[in-house]
Structure 1
């Protein structure tokens, strides 16, 4: 590991947890770009599990809500 990276990690140990998690997310994104494999965070894994459970129960957003979101993102 190069000196600059070591310094960043040493400083990051003093950062608030939220900032440390943000740094870890950036590292996961870089790793995914380099390897073609993305590793989900625990929060992402939990959100996917929640979404799959909702789908299994037939809980989906309404067509109207999707259409409204589409309108907001069309620019």
Structure 2
């Protein structure tokens, strides 16, 4: 197991049981259990290519933009 996965599991252990189960289902689905490995739609693929290009160009949200989104969604 990688250190990152181990760290994630340690953090998940502290969450409520229902949340742990939800996250476990997500991981199992992504890993291909109970069905095929998740495949992106053409639109999702295009979004990722666009995001990769923005990252390569150093185009990131400002701290102010991130704060605005977080406050909008009460996070």
Aligned to 2:5: none
Q: TM-score, normalised by structure 1?
A: 0.51
- Give the ranges of 4+ consecutive aligned residues of structure 1 lying more than 2 Å apart after TM superposition: 32-36
What CA distance in whole angstroms lies between the structure 2 residues aligned with 1:36 and 1:64?
Answer: 39
The CA RMSD measured in Å over matched residues stands at: 2.4
Name the structure with the higher helix share.
Answer: 1
How does 1:26-65 map onto structure 2 within 5 Å?
Answer: 34-35=34-35, 37-65=37-65
Per chain length, whose mean CA-contact separation is higher, i.e. which structure has more relative contact order (CA < 8 Å, sep 6+)?
1
Larger radius of gyration: 1
**Which residues of structure 2 form unaligned runs of 5+?**
1-28
Q: TM-score, normalised by structure 2?
A: 0.51
What CA distance in whole angstroms lies between the structure 2 residues aligned with 1:59 and 1:68?
Answer: 17
